[in-house]
Amino acid sequence: MIPKPTSPNEVWSMDFIFDQLSFGKRVKGLTMVDVFSKINHALEFDYGLNGFRVIQILENVCDFEGSPKVITVDNGPEFICLALDKWASQKGIKLHFSRPGKPTDNAFIESFNGKVRDEFLNMNWFSNLEDLKVKAQAWSEEYNTERPHSSLNMKTPKEFLEYYDKKLTAV
């Protein structure tokens, strides 16, 4: 069990979510969230996402946001691959794997994926992959900057981080 994070970039959670385009082609999405701030770092869709693509997305996020101490994931092949293990080790990031068949071990990302499903995927029709990517980016931006969270004292993730940063600099 990972202790509850007390600052940003302590614990991130990642998982995959699946959907299909209007013409029936299946797509796969990588979701990535900071457990402390609730910031959605990635909502990336493609026809396929393997371990190397996961690393590429992580590199981009880490370049912009900094690196987490721990990333919680399930035991999917993209997460248990040697390439991700090597990348995390080189970055000093611990990978924490949920127990097989126990999605409650990574409950935060499962809850987030439920929001993605209910508030985004089920509410939209995607004519092609580019349409999905554009709408996913817009939804992620709205989630981070316009949607207050009760767990963040009714602040958006962005407002919460700004408040947290101000509190740190005042000390």
pLDDT value of position 171? 58
At residue 3, the pLDDT reads 76
Q: Where are the alpha helices (DSSP H) in the chain?
A: 51-65, 82-91, 107-115, 129-145, 157-170
Mean pLDDT over 101-109 rounds to: 87
- The tokens for 126 are 């995607």
Angstrom distances, CA of residue 112 to CA of 69, 87, 88, 98, 108: 20, 25, 23, 16, 6
- Which of 22-26, 100-104, 151-155 has the lowest average pLDDT? 100-104
Q: At 148, which amino acid appears?
A: P
- Chain segment 25-53, per-residue pLDDT in tens: 999 999 999 999 999 999 999 999 999 99
Distance CA 108, CA 3 (A): 13
The mean-pLDDT minimum among 4-8, 39-43, 97-101, 139-143 falls in 97-101
